Structure 1
Amino acid sequence: MAPTVHSAKITLSCPLFSAEFDPRNNGRLFVGGGGGEGRSGVGNKISLLDTSRRDEITEALELSLSRDEDSVTSLAAAPQAGDDEHSLVVLAGINSSVAEQKKNNNQHMRSFRFDAPQKIRSTSTEVGDEGDETENKEQQKEEVIPGKTESLSRASLFRFKSGADAGDCYQRVLRLSPWRKPKTDGDKSSSEPRIGAITTGLAKSGEIVFFSVTESPTESDVIGRIRLGANEEAEDVDFASLEFDPDQTTDARGRFRVAYTNGIDVMVGEVSSSTRSNAAPDVRCVYTIPLSSSGSRPKFRAVRFLSPTAILLLQNAPNRSGSELVLLKLPKTKDAQASVLRRRKLPRTVKIGLGLDVCALGTNPVGQQQTIIAASGSDNSINLWTVEYGPNRGYENIKSYTTLRDVHPFSMTKLCFSTFIAPRPSHHSRCASAKG
């Protein structure tokens, strides 16, 4: 019998291209999109959705953006160390107007602050007739404090040419390193520093920019750049923290392993949050898709770390002939290549895999781990799997959990999990999808 999966749906006023949960609260989902510049009747916006109920999604807060600029193409939730529980920063990729781009001024990195609506409960005592204290009654009152939004900053981090010859280049991917819960409740200073990466889309020569995640990222926060070749772009990028990697012999706080793919190659390197440089980090190719006998190659669509030494990729076969998951084990030496640990084909109805995300369910005292995997397909389905890891046996087979069919009437543009926070037994993870 298939497991019960609770679901809810909401339809907003514009097509959506990006989505991410507040990593501290799986009842808050940020989505962004729009009709772009000058598209009559369809605005651009970022919305905060209340997903705290299993059977209902409501729009808690809406930030309307200029119709004279591009739509929201990517976003990330970036709570800062000093933020209150209801407040956080949202970073977004939004191109400046075409007129500004022709002036070589494309401020594509935007920063906003969202303060979620709050419900404040208080108790008052109603005194009985003639001051009789035995008839005093307590009344519960609830006050709703409206939410608010604030635009914080806009900046240009890419170094691509933004003038008349720039074409349709935009900020395609915005990915942050994993959020870690502070070591002690209420200790806002103990959270791990985070870094981020943005990649170009439709650029004549692709670029990846790494930056320190601040409230208002600027060029001074850049910690590294990778300039790709002509007509080469990063399909996806991901991070894994090295702080708890058992293979590290020194303090690795603030150090991250990064992986990205250009569709054919998988590149891996290390980035530190303490670096301030425009130099390229040291990355190397650990895996290349072999050329088939017919002369064609599959292509990687997405990449996610399962651990600092294991990477999961979504791979599409040529000519819309299917999709599969590929699990790689990273080499321990610089001159070695990654090895394929597991493969798992998506159902035949999936001609192309569209999106991939994973959610780690924590590690027990003996080092065993379980991870949930979600992949969206061209047949408007979301396939869910689990994969287990043990220190002695390694990664087991990728096992099917369930399939969600006909999730949207059109192709999905984004798929994401919320953060699973252990060990509270009441916590669980949510999965969100969006369509354009």
Structure 2
Amino acid sequence: MSPKVSFAKTTLPFPIFAADFDPFNRGYLVVGGGGGEGRSGVPNQIAVLDVQDRSTISTVAEIDLSRDEDSVQSLASLATQDGLITFAGINSSQTNQNAGKNDHFRSFEIKYPPRKKQKTDEEKGHVNSLGRNSLFKPTPSAKSETYQRLLRLSPAQKRAGGSRRIGAIATGLAKKSELVVFNATTSTPGSEDIITRIEPDGGAEVADLDVATAGTDEFSVAYCTDYNIYEQTYQYDFSKKQVQKMPNGPRRIHQMPFPDATENPASRPKFRALRFLDSQNVVALLNKPGRTGSELRIYHLYPTGPAIMTLQMSLPSHIKQAVSLDVCALDTDKKGNRQSVVAVAGQDISIEIYTINYTRNTDTFSRFRSYQSSKNVHPQQMTKLCLSPFHSPARAQGPDSQPSTDEKKPKAPMHPGPQYIRLASVSYGNTVVVDTLPLSPLDPKDKDSRYVLSHPDDERFQRIAYTYFAFLIPLLMAYLVHFFMYPEVSVATRLINVLPEPVRHRFGTPVPLPVAQSFGSAVHSTASSIVASDVPTAVPGQQRLADLLSVPGAEQNALVVRHDPANTGVAVDVHPDKQALLAEHAEAKHWHELSDEHKAEWKRRLKAAGYWVESEGERVLKGVMFSTYAGLVGQAAGEILREL
């Protein structure tokens, strides 16, 4: 977990299936759930939680619902001046359903308690039922298990005069799936507020849906089934309750490709959830078949024709299946750029938080960047994940717009107070966890700067660090290989030789390393380069004679060790033709033909130059021949010809 992120946790007396933040982000979370119909001891409730404090969660209002009816399955809220109008999906009793009456759409009025600064004797808020209705078509089957599984509202716009919103609901477990779009400007929408009804092709169940604001009184509704994504745009006149649909029916903007003919047709991934990033881009959550993983994909929508997938990312391998998705779009700058926060809940009770940046000039998104990964968030499976909305705060006036004759008067702050978004997750195990994520201005020097969760400077550092380690790890592995191959070589020489060729020459001519026979053809190539020349080649003093003996094919060559006062006192030449050398130097002598004085002198010189050590013994020198070569007649030591 990011060190700046704080979280709070609480346990309620009922399993939680639905959650929704205050649309104006005033620090309240509404949750609902329960034990359902006829389950003794487990209540059906809607609770209002105060999550303003980053370390604690407190219940400020609640309502007990009938235990003769189903539990709360979905929630969404409209903001009022001092509270909320909350819509909920609650099925009527089974008796009423059998009679063909299911008032599944409920509405509640929530009154917030006064904050601590306005503390009064009445500290608790209130939740009151406002009404109930049925928006789905009546079900002919007496034993129908249809319920209102999905409920979404268009985003709230924080304006002085408020904003007009629409909503959409969809069935679950229905024999014939249905989606209803409705006018959400009334406290209890009825049949007269229905904008349109949609029956998905083939009766496929709607996996998820979302609503976006595309313009003034213009909205876009997108929904997905297992293998398809659909979209329809509505221009709605709220006063006349008239709608213009574009197109007349929902258009399929994407179909999951069928697998190859040799594969199982059921091996296609399935859509699990989707959310609008803006009115022209949606992010979809997919689950691969056989619990083999999950993906996030971004699709760009066009006015006509199919959508195009513009980005794809696999979720971490520990997420075999994902269960929930939500998005929070942060504020934009003058150029239209913005950052969005994407949260995903996995079936392994983990949560992944990502950020993604949108550039208006190119109409493109950056790659997903991981911001936080949390595991074992709840004791049992999560049922819902939701992010609070973010509204750009009112900026304080800058110093230039505040003329004052009082020089001691404090200047207005460049930015408002700390800004946060919150992430709530709920579970079957009655638990609620709220993470508070701190935002920061993109440009602290600009008082009108947009806010980000992940700063580009941090992202740049992450990329640099990744590149650095991507280079360092192979370099370290190469160093270790050289260390075990050539333990006698100095550290400086080893480091220079593992560098890339262009970089290596910046440090001067690299020092050839000893050749080890056991390393195959690559080493054999190095050995061949040593002995290929017909001209005697000097071998650097850092190599021992024992190393040169291991060169493949060395039995056809000869080593000449001669006196070299200009360097280390000893030099080694490689001769490709031993017989020609013997014919040229008839006075050559073998090692056993040398006097003890000459042997001792050459041992001293070879040790001083690093070609030979006492522990190797004379076995390395046996078979060597001497000659009065290169003007060394009469000196204490002569030349050595080492026969290989």
TM-score, normalising length from structure 1?
Answer: 0.87
Match of 2:598 in 1: none
1:428 aligns with 2:420: yes
Alignment coverage as a number of residue pairs = 396
Q: Once the 2 structures are TM-superposed, how far is the Cα of residue 367 of structure 1 from its aligned partner?
A: 1.3
The runs of 5 or more residues in structure 2 that have no matched partner are: 395-415, 429-644
1:206 aligns with 2:177: yes
Q: Contact 2:351–2:374 at 8 Å: present in 1 too? A: yes
Q: Contact 2:25–2:390 at 8 Å: present in 1 too? A: no
Q: Contact 1:34–1:72 at 8 Å: present in 2 too? A: yes
1:375 aligns with 2:347: no
Calculate percent identity across the aligned residue pairs.
Answer: 41
Match of 1:66 in 2: 66
- Where 1:78 maps in the other structure, the secondary structure is strand
Q: Contact 2:231–2:251 at 8 Å: present in 1 too? A: yes
Spell out the pairing of 1:49-64 with structure 2 (5 A cutoff).
49-64=49-64
Q: Which amino acid is the alignment partner of residue 310 of structure 2?
A: L
1:92 aligns with 2:88: yes
Match of 1:179 in 2: 156
Q: Which amino acid is the alignment partner of residue 153 of structure 1?
A: G
Deviation per residue, 1:115-167 (Å, 9 max, x gap): 11114757xxxxxxxxxxxxxxxxxx75444322211100000004154142x
Alpha-carbon distance between aligned partners in 2 of 1:229 and 1:422, rounded to the nearest angstrom: 40
Match of 2:212 in 1: 240
CA radius of gyration, larger in: 2
Which is worse superposed, 31-40 or 273-282? Answer: 273-282
Which is worse superposed, 144-153 or 28-37? Answer: 144-153
Q: Relative contact order, CA 8 A, sep 6+: which one is greater?
A: 1
Q: Once the 2 structures are TM-superposed, how far is the Cα of residue 257 of structure 1 from its aligned partner?
A: 1.1
Change (3 A) 1:276 1:201: farther
Change (3 A) 1:372 1:3: farther
1:15 aligns with 2:8: no
1:322 to 293, 300, 306: 293
- Where 2:47 maps in the other structure, the secondary structure is strand
- Where 2:340 maps in the other structure, the secondary structure is strand
Alpha-carbon distance between aligned partners in 2 of 1:409 and 1:281, rounded to the nearest angstrom: 46
Match of 1:246 in 2: none
Spell out the pairing of 1:377-392 with structure 2 (5 A cutoff).
377-392=346-361
Q: Once the 2 structures are TM-superposed, how far is the Cα of residue 419 of structure 1 from its aligned partner?
A: 1.1
The runs of 5 or more residues in structure 1 that have no matched partner are: 123-140, 244-252
Match of 2:325 in 1: 356
Which is worse superposed, 231-240 or 106-115? Answer: 231-240
Match of 1:220 in 2: 192
Which is worse superposed, 29-38 or 401-410? Answer: 401-410
Deviation per residue, 1:243-274 (Å, 9 max, x gap): 2xxxxxxxxx1110111001211101112342
Q: Contact 2:224–2:274 at 8 Å: present in 1 too? A: yes
Spell out the pairing of 1:302-313 with structure 2 (5 A cutoff).
302-313=273-284
Structure with bigger strand share is 1
Deviation per residue, 1:69-91 (Å, 9 max, x gap): 00000011112xxx32x221110
Spell out the pairing of 1:99-138 with structure 2 (5 A cutoff).
99-119=95-115
Q: Contact 1:172–1:199 at 8 Å: present in 2 too? A: yes
Change (3 A) 1:26 1:405: farther
Deviation per residue, 1:10-66 (Å, 9 max, x gap): 000000000000111341000000000000110100000010111100111111000
Alpha-carbon distance between aligned partners in 2 of 1:228 and 1:337, rounded to the nearest angstrom: 18
Q: Contact 1:204–1:230 at 8 Å: present in 2 too? A: no
- Where 1:379 maps in the other structure, the secondary structure is coil
Q: Which amino acid is the alignment partner of residue 155 of structure 1?
A: N
TM-score, normalising length from structure 2?
Answer: 0.59
Change (3 A) 1:278 1:235: farther
Q: Contact 1:114–1:150 at 8 Å: present in 2 too? A: yes
Q: Once the 2 structures are TM-superposed, how far is the Cα of residue 106 of structure 1 from its aligned partner?
A: 0.2
